[in-house]
């Protein structure tokens, strides 16, 4: 049974008084008000929540908890998103290239992405085409405008079209390919069996979108459980690592980055990020003890 939302707007100084009354230490109320105004209490409350005593519903903060603790979490999460997005960019570009070019090379059909005969499910293809048409119509990219001006073809070839499509759409195009051998070949490019490849690309897409929308990632649980590679062909992680926590997502990204960018510095960047925020409880993110010694992360 649903109820009507009955909360009203609360002024920042009222929020500060409320937080103090619940046991949160705020040394500089003016500074705290500044952050609440510019970040928004609703967004910031996600970083205040871990500081609450159990039961959380009592709205009492743990002894010694400070407003600065929440800011530290907020800043760490921001840096973590930037770190993840930078690494995902490498994976995303490699995926787009592998999909567009592998199919074109194997079939000789450079317009395969908009060819219904290439796909298994007509309904899925039609829904994808609606998104393709929307992106193509609204695109202001110079290379798209140039193509429209110079060529009479309705759609650009796959390697051009793939550049303007959201990553989730690219993944759906891959999933709907009728030729199973092609799908296996693309997955093999990333040393994965096809089902695991699809699962992990879905996780990367969700993580990417979370980063793009500035949402919380540091201690978030996966909305879906990623598949486990039963017999990984490359160094991986211990079976005891939870697949629903942030560390597992980072490991998935590391798997792809190691393939598309050998001798990368992802481990060093992650170590530096954690060193910059020593107050962060990385166990809440699913990091095991001595995570650097996991096979995936060993030099």
In a domain, 70, yes or no: no
Overall number of domains in the chain:
2
My answer on whether 150 and 205 are in the same domain is yes
Bridge partner residues of 66 (DSSP) = 25
Residue 41 CB neighbours (<10 A): 16
Bridge partner residues of 253 (DSSP) = none
Nearest Cα neighbor of 95 from 177, 176, 159, 140 is: 159
My answer on whether 61 and 205 are in the same domain is no
Look at residue 1 in the predicted model and tell me its pLDDT.
67
Instruction: Please state the pTM of the whole predicted model.
Output: 0.93
Three-class SS state of 227:
coil
My answer on whether 54 and 96 are in the same domain is no
Give the range of the structural domain holding residue 41, as residue numbers without chain letter.
12-65
Distance CA 261, CA 55 (A): 46
Look at residue 9 in the predicted model and tell me its pLDDT.
83
My answer on whether 55 and 175 are in the same domain is no
Distance CA 68, CA 279 (A): 11
Name residues whose C-beta falls within 8 Å of residue 150's C-beta, 6 or more positions apart in sequence.
none
My answer on whether 221 and 102 are in the same domain is yes
My answer on whether 89 and 182 are in the same domain is yes
Q: Is 15 in contact with 70 (CB distance < 8 Å)?
A: no
Look at residue 10 in the predicted model and tell me its pLDDT.
87
Q: Which residues of the chain are under the pLDDT cut of 50? A: none
């Amino acid at each position: 049974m649903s109820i009507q939302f009955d909360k009203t707007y609360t002024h920042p100084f009222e929020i500060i008084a409320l937080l103090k009354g619940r046991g949160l230490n705020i040394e500089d109320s003016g500074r705290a008000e500044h952050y609440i105004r510019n970040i928004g209490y609703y967004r910031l409350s996600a970083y205040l929540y871990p500081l609450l005593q159990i039961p959380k519903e009592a709205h009492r903060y743990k002894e010694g908890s400070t407003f600065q603790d929440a800011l530290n979490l907020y800043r760490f999460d921001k840096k973590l998103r930037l770190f993840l997005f930078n690494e995902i960019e490498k994976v995303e570009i490699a995926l787009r290239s592998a999909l567009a070019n592998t199919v074109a090379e194997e079939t000789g059909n450079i317009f395969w992405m908009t060819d219904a005969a290439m796909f298994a499910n007509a309904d899925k293809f039609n829904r994808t085409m609606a998104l393709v048409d929307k992106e193509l119509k609204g695109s202001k990219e110079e290379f798209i405008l140039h193509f429209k001006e110079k060529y009479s073809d309705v759609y650009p070839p796959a390697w051009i079209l793939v550049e303007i499509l959201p990553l989730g759409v690219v993944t759906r195009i891959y999933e709907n390919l009728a030729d199973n051998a092609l799908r296996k070949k693309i997955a093999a490019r990333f040393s994965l069996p096809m089902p695991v490849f699809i699962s992990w690309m879905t996780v990367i897409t969700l993580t990417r979108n979370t980063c793009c929308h500035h949402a919380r990632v540091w201690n978030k649980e996966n909305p879906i459980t990623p598949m486990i590679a039963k017999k990984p062909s490359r160094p991986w992680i211990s079976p005891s690592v939870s697949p629903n926590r942030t560390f597992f997502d980072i490991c998935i990204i590391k798997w792809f980055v190691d393939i598309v960018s050998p001798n990368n510095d992802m481990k060093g960047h992650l170590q530096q990020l954690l060193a910059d925020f020593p107050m962060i409880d990385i166990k809440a993110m699913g990091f095991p003890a001595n995570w650097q010694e996991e096979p995936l992360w060993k030099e």
